[in-house]
Amino acid sequence: MAEEPDDPDRRASTYSYRDVRQFADDMLEVLARERIWCDEQPEVAELRAMLDEHEAEDIWRSLLIPADGEDLRAVEIIAEATAEARGIPLQNLPPVYLISRTSLRRYACLYEEVWEDPTGEEEDWTVGRPASRLAVLLGQEVEDYGDLEQSWLSATLFWGWYGEIEDAHQLEPGEDGVGEVVIVSRPPMPAAFVGVISHELVHFLQDQWTGWRLHDWYRDAETTDELEALRWVVEGDATLNELYGDTSPLLELLAGIPWGPESNSEYDLWYRAHEALIPQDAANLFAAYDQGSSVLARLRAESGQEAIDALLLDPPESTEQLIHPQKLTSDEQPIALADLERLQAELFPDTHWDEPIVDRMGEHWLHSLILSTTRFTTLARSVSAGWGSDQMALWESQDGLAEVVTWQIVFDHVGHHREGVNGLRTWLYLHADEEALADPDDPFSLYRWDGPTGAVRLVIEPHALWLVAANGPALADEVAGGILNRTWTNYW
Ligand SMILES: [Zn+2]
């Protein structure tokens, strides 16, 4: 039976993703400053006046002006050099849009009224992924990013972007793949943006190479792990092939083209947006570029560019395969894990649950979790290196009273399991500000912590370990006890 929360106010705050999250507060503070900035800009006032007759979305889209003149000539030179370096002939140049960071920031002000009352409409905030709920139940200071936060963050964080723009085929009708565009902040282009333009053009070449299937693959990725693995390949390849404007012969080709000076004022916004991310999210965001490009550089050195081309056509399903190259060639698949439906039915025969949201977080996510909390690089490496598979699930009862996240992690063998137990215990201990306790009845099997927004239990089994988080200590105990006492396994 699901537990009744004892204090309705506390329950409200557990479920309120707005009131209690430091991240949201920070974000609002940044946005409040942005509002003042917006109000001071005469250009923003003009844009806002257009809202009487136009949709914000249409005004936003009017920002997209294809590069022409000298800018276009520079893009063409960079595109040719990129295709040559990457080894995929360019069939046609996609439309390239150049937007200044300052304009981007002004246009973002069109959406700022949404932030005036962030405690307003529920549907403006999306929640869902098990990891976000886990973070909340762990009392992590994090807001699950909804669409609006996402668009705000991307408006401030990105340098270049490759993707689809709706109706782009009407702007430039043609063959498949036209409508994929590159956006790079700030014309006239400073030399620094040669790297960004070439990076985005590699994405275009990748899409061309895969038969315009990149977006399908992003859409079809079923787990965080699979999505991360895909990002490592796609972003790693693009990062590896970034060109620099200060190296000849590109330098000579671009010599006659005027480059505008880059003003630093807008970098400030970038840093603030970046700092608004929680450390683990920031680490995961950039891992695709950093670790992804190292992994692919090694692969290229060992097996040539063809190996990366092949990887793009058949992306790995797991970051584990990229971190351990021998697993890439052996095509080892992650192990299947506990039957959650059976577990649920056994533990709570009378409770009606929503369809659980199930995710696999992967080796790299485990690594970034341990590292961002403990700061121990060796520990994070030794725990994650033995990752065999994992399964994170979010269960919610239909009456809305019970919320549980279970995370089962299986390690490759006994030694790795020991490292895993050690690492997760250290992580929970530090995460809980040293308030997590061993169970007095069974000090070696269970760690527990009753935090401000949820209760956490670390359950240690012979070949696996589970993290259980719930919106109440009794519920957490019930699930943890049920896992320990169950008589079946189905993950070996
Ligand atoms: Zn990229």
Instruction: Give pLDDT tens digits for 188-237.
Output: 555 567 888 899 999 999 988 988 788 778 778 888 899 899 999 999 99
CA of 193 to the centre of ligand 1 (A): 13
- C-alpha dihedral sign at 73, 74, 79, 84: positive
CA of 316 to the centre of ligand 1 (A): 18
Q: How far is the centre of ligand 1, averaged over its atoms, from the C-alpha of 99 (Å)?
A: 17
Instruction: For residue 462, report the distance from its CA to the centre of ligand 1, in Å.
Output: 41
pLDDT score at 189 = 54
The reported pLDDT for the residue numbered 313 is 94
Domain boundaries, the chain: 8-136+146-212+246-275, 221-243+277-330, 340-485
pLDDT: is 6 or 204 the higher one?
204
pLDDT at 49 over 90: yes
Q: How far is the CA of 199 from the centre of ligand 1 (A)?
A: 6
pLDDT of 365 higher than 90: yes
The pLDDT confidence band at residue 307, using thresholds 50, 70 and 90, is: very high
Between 439 and 340, the higher pLDDT residue: 340
Distance in Å, CA 76 to ligand 1 centroid: 19
| Architecture category of domain 340-485 in CATH | 3-Layer(aba) Sandwich (3.40)
- Ligand 1 mean position, distance from CA 164 (Å): 14
Dihedral through CA 224, CA 228, CA 230, CA 236, nearest 10?
A: 170
Categorize the per-residue pLDDT at 238 as very low, low, confident or very high, splitting at 50, 70 and 90: very high
pLDDT interval class at 111 (50, 70, 90)? low
Higher-scoring residue by pLDDT: 460, 173: 460
C-alpha 128/C-alpha 131 separation (Å) is: 8
Dist CA 293 CA 299 (whole Å): 10
Residue 158 alpha carbon to ligand 1 centre in Å: 10
If you measure from the C-alpha of residue 66 to the centroid of ligand 1, how many angstroms do you get, rounded to a whole number?
Answer: 20
- Statement: residue 400 has pLDDT above 60: yes
Kindly tell me if the per-residue pLDDT of 179 is higher than 70. no
User: Mean pLDDT across the stretch 298-319?
Assistant: 94
The pLDDT value given to residue 462: 80
Cα 200 to averaged position of ligand 1 atoms, centre (Å): 6
Burial of 348 (0-12, 13-18, 19+ CB in 10 A): buried
Query: Ligand 1 centre and the CA of 488: distance in Å?
Result: 44
Q: What percentage of the chain has pLDDT greater than the value 90?
A: 31
Q: Ligand 1 mean position to 160 CA, how many Å?
A: 8
112-130 pLDDT per residue, tens: 543 333 344 443 333 346 6
Of 116 and 68, the one with more pLDDT:
68
234 alpha carbon to ligand 1 midpoint, in Å? 7
CA of 237 to the centre of ligand 1 (A): 9
> What pLDDT is attached to residue 127?
38
Contacts of 277 (CB under 8 A, 6+ apart): 153, 285
Å from CA of 184 to ligand 1 middle: 11
pLDDT at 213: 81
Paired with 181 in beta bridges are 163
**Helix or strand holding residue 76 (H, E):** helix 69-86
Q: Check residue 478 and give its pLDDT.
A: 92
Q: What is the dihedral of CA 227, 228, 233, 238, to 10 degrees?
A: 100
Quote the pLDDT of residue 155: 61
What is the maximum alpha-carbon separation in the chain? Answer: 77
* pLDDT at residue 172 is higher than 60: no
pLDDT of the residue at 8: 35
**Digit-coded pLDDT (tens) for 247-293:** 667 777 777 776 554 444 456 666 666 666 677 777 888 899 999 99
Q: Of 336, 192, 221, 383, whose CA–CA distance to 288 is shortest?
A: 221
In the predicted structure, residue 94 carries a pLDDT above the cut 80: yes
pLDDT for 118 equals 38
> What's the CA-to-centroid distance between 228 and ligand 1, angstroms?
13
In whole angstroms, give the CA distance from residue 22 to residue 25: 5
H runs (alpha helix) in 138-278: 147-157, 168-171, 193-209, 214-220, 224-240, 250-254, 267-276
* C-alpha 114: how far from chain center: 23
Q: What is the DSSP letter of 367?
A: H
Comparing 7-21, 39-53, 136-150, 364-378, the range with the smallest average pLDDT is 7-21
Task: Using the mean position of ligand 1's atoms as its centre, give its distance from the Cα of residue 412 in Å.
Answer: 32
